[in-house]
Amino acid sequence: MYNFEFSKPETIQDAVEAMKSDGAQALGGGQTLLPTMKQRLASPESLVSLCGVAEMVGVCEDDAGNLSVGGATSHAQVADQAAKSYPALAALAANIGDPAVRNRGTIGGSLANNDPAACYPAAALGSGASIITNTREIAADDYFTGMFETALAEDEIITSVRFPVPQAANYQKFDQPASRFALVGVFVAKYADGVRVAVTGASNGGVFRWSEAEAALGGDFSAAAVSGLGAPSGDMIEDLHGSGAYRAHLVGVLTRRAVEACGG
């Protein structure tokens, strides 16, 4: 490691001010950033911890049927506090990493990092969530722009994430046993106006929506409706854990399982 400045602001405004310094980097749970720094793959001059900002921690519901999750809320807190209002999101959070990761990692940190095999991007995109920052609101459809890439500006902070709660939802994850990241993960959410299917872990382009499956399920919300669909188009990841064809196959299998778990 090397020398750097560290600050732990207590308000969003103080965090925004701290981020204005040259070489500043926001720090959530540090599950990705700190190992990266140890390997000298990143070298921010100062870290601005967001875990001390109380208004960015916690889960609450509003009258419009949305669930708001603070950007500094840990995976373990999401698993606990969202269990009644959004069980599919809570179950996803409960299966991220191991207990140490779940108690340190944050939803805002995960979405800001946008690892192509992370679980939260599938939940956000599959739910049609809105990512709220200190300056604006970004629809999930516009937020994810590529592998490890998002629409965030360098000085933006994810203060909360707003999830419209669906009629039914389920997340199916085929995880890589060493890392617990998704080899492939599929989040299916059924709303009154349609179905959303988001896939993580499969594509070199990062998380994506499987539009063909959404169209099929919109007309017939059943596993049979997607059983005849071909593999989703896209640049599938090829690595030692699985070929592109294998991942494409898993997308179909996990989508059917998610629909079945929703009662379809």
* Per-residue pLDDT, 107: 98
pLDDT digits (tens, 9 = 90+) for 168-227: 999 999 998 888 899 999 999 999 999 999 999 999 999 999 999 999 999 999 999 999
Segment among 15-19, 24-28, 99-103, 231-235 with least mean pLDDT: 231-235
Backbone angles phi, psi at 161, to 5 degrees: -130, 130
Q: Residues near 211 by Cβ (< 8 Å), separated by ≥ 6?
A: none
Could you tell me what percent of the chain has a pLDDT over 70?
98
Q: Residues near 176 by Cβ (< 8 Å), separated by ≥ 6?
A: 117, 182, 183, 241
Query: What are the domain boundaries of the chain?
Result: 5-164, 168-261
* Per-residue pLDDT, 1: 61
Q: Is the pLDDT of residue 145 over 90?
A: yes
User: What's the rounded Cα separation, in Å, for the pair 102 and 121?
Assistant: 16
Fold type of domain 168-261: Enolase-like; domain 1 (3.30.390)
* Per-residue pLDDT, 4: 78
Q: Is the pLDDT of residue 43 over 90?
A: no
Q: Is the pLDDT of residue 155 over 70?
A: yes
**How confident is the prediction for the chain on average, in pLDDT?**
93
User: What's the rounded Cα separation, in Å, for the pair 171 and 186?
Assistant: 6
Question: Is 5-164's fold the same as 168-261's?
Answer: no
* Per-residue pLDDT, 40: 81
Q: Is the pLDDT of residue 233 over 70?
A: no
Report, at the CATH architecture level, how domain 5-164 is classified.
2-Layer Sandwich (3.30)
